[in-house]
Chains A and B, each alone.
Chain A
Amino acid sequence: MLLKRQIPIFIVMFFGFLTLFGWFIDQKQVKDFVDIHGLQWYGIISTFAIFLGIITLIKLQLIKILKKQKGWQYSIVAILGVVFSFTAGFIYKGNPNIEWGAHVIEKGTMFKWIFEFIFTPLSATMFALLAFFVASASYRAFRIRNFEATLLLISGMIIMIGRVPLGSSISSWFVLYLLVFILGITINSIFKNRNYTLISFSSGLIIVTLFGMYLGWPHDKPGIFFLPTLQEWIYKYPNVAGARSISIGIGLGIFATSIRYILGLEKSYIGE
């Protein structure tokens, strides 16, 4: 019990307090521990722990092959991959002119070959899949279901069009005329009265035209209807306001969670 409970909790509390209050102590050893050594300790421990992971991986894949579980053929590939990488990393360099250690970064070695011609293309393939997933996710998010989804669609479209060269080619007056059309449609769908629709639509057209003639049809004015300016505003203000409020919540959550661990209130991470 002492080894599995009290000592781990004591270690967490001790190093938690040391790291937190070490930032206020002007002493070289403490500063070095907080800034450098503590992190190095963690790096060393986690590097050794990798063997634990590899053993688990091989064990699980072997069980799959032996029991011929669903998809056992993939397990053969996984084990071959581990053996191949291990060989290239620790046993056979593939180029006697390059020193051990440097073989992981120098060209012309088996390890580097694995990295360049197997690992990198496979990673890039996975990353490239994101483009398609973003498209399918956006389709679902932008479907007009309620007010929030409509708002998301409109702001998303403004951001997208405003950020490409096409956006700066669209005059604010075009957007204004578009808004007059939308206003007409909205009034028609609310009142379902032809006269109201005609009056609102035609008066909107006249007001915008007169206003444009008065100002001399400047391409980017009024700025609020110029898409690049509008997208910049959405991006800088409503977006940042929302993001910051989430950030404050996250910061508080992290602080409170850390305090829970440091004070030993939360012990679930050791299975309690």
Chain B
Amino acid sequence: MRDKNFLIGAFIVFLIFLFLQITKPDLYISDRGLLLFLILLFGGILQFSTRHALRGGDVFLRTIPGVKAVEEAVGRSTEMGKPVLYVPGIQDMDQVETVAGVVILGHVSKMTARYETPLNVPVARSIVLKAAQEACKESYLVEGRSDIYNENMVHYVTDDQFAYAAGVNGIMNREKPAACLYMGKFYAESLLLAETGNSIGAIQIAGTASQSQIPFFVTACDYTLIGEEFFAASAYLSQKPDLLGIVKGQDIVKIVMLIMIIGGTLLRLFHDLGAINFNILDFLTITKG
């Protein structure tokens, strides 16, 4: 804890929060104070971890097999002379998963640029199309291979879920990509895509935070990035200290949450047993709409 600037900043923010909670100005919804406190606390932990990593602090990140396999998959495609198919989900850029999918696409396209492997990115939303094109273009530029960048490698298929699945399945059956990557938000089309990819013998890596689709991907794909692994993938692939620091911060937040869950359960238990009058559920319930 030698980061003086961070400590001063955190202290000022805490004072402002205290001031708001005590004075309760008209513009501030004080009933939601606990939530604001938690956002500030967790945000502060993440910010501290980032600064710690940027100052040269040690950050250990366990190996995520799915992320490691991304480079292998691109390498396999290169060897086989077949394209890499990247599916960034079927939702728009207002979903964090889609944004994370586009961010990972940036890293994947760097690899395809490096190895001169064809990349095919069918998208289901127009804004995702533009964002994905921009990410790929920049990656090819960074790798010094803007000459092989083709704007049509990222292309729009349709907004409709099953029409998109049919379109992507068609691409898979015609082009027979050696690697299929599914990174984003998925619904029922997940299994349609993953099973088709399996049938053509492609190496498949999926990453999603759509809980109901995780079992399908686990069954049909070679590697699956489950939930937070998917969000950490970008940090892992970039190896940037600030992003790695945030992943470490997430683990600290997880420990804090674990303590809160155990503490909350015990408080509720004591309340039910009549040992204390304090009801944690009343404390945590936000009444004002």
Contacts and interface: CB of A to CB of B under 8 A. Distances in A.
Interface of A: 20-21, 23-27, 42, 45-46, 49-54, 56-57, 59-60, 63, 70-71, 74, 119, 122-123, 126-127, 129-130, 133-134, 136-138, 140-141, 243, 246-250, 252-261, 263, 265-266, 268-272
Given A57-B156, A246-B226, A126 B250 contact: no
Contacts of A268: 102-103, 106-107, 135, 234, 238
B192 to A, nearest CB: 6
The 8 A-B residue pairs with the shortest CB-CB distance in the complex, in nearest-first order: A271-B138, A253-B231, A53-B156, A53-B126, A49-B126, A126-B162, A253-B228, A249-B228
A25 B188 contact: no
Interface residues of B, number: 80
B43 interface: yes
A253 B191 contact: no
Nearest to A45: B127
B157 A57 contact: yes
B125 interface: yes
A123 B160 contact: yes
Contact of B227 (A20, A54, A129, A250): A250
B84 interface: no
Contact of A253 (B160, B195, B227, B257): B227
27 contacts: A21-B36, A25-B28, A26-B29, A27-B27, A46-B126, A50-B159, A52-B129, A57-B157, A122-B166, A123-B162, A126-B165, A127-B162, A129-B192, A133-B195, A137-B191, A249-B227, A252-B253, A253-B231, A253-B250, A257-B100, A259-B43, A259-B246, A266-B103, A268-B107, A268-B135, A268-B234, A271-B106
Contacts of B220: 137, 140
Nearest to B215: A141
Given A122-B162, A252-B250, 12 more contacts: A46-B127, A51-B126, A54-B156, A119-B160, A122-B163, A137-B191, A140-B220, A141-B219, A254-B209, A266-B103, A268-B135, A269-B135
Q: In terms of DSSP, what is the predominant structure of the interface of chain A?
A: helix
Contacts of B103: 266, 268-269
Nearest to A38: B94
Contact of B47 (A25, A70, A138, A263): A263
B174 interface: yes
Given A60-B155, A141-B219, A127 B231 contact: no
A142 to B, nearest CB: 9
Contacts of B272: none
A53 B125 contact: yes
Contacts, number: 179
B188 A130 contact: yes
B138 to A, nearest CB: 3
Contact of A46 (B26, B123, B125, B227): B125
Contacts of B189: 126
Given A253-B232, A265-B243, A49 B96 contact: no
Contacts of A133: 191-192, 195
Interface in B207-265: 209, 211, 214, 216, 218-220, 226-228, 230-232, 234, 238, 242-243, 246-247, 249-250, 253-254, 257
A134 to B, nearest CB: 7
B76 interface: no
B27 A253 contact: no
Contacts of B250: 252-253, 256
A26 B289 CA distance: 10
Given A24-B29, A56-B155, A127-B162, A250 B192 contact: no
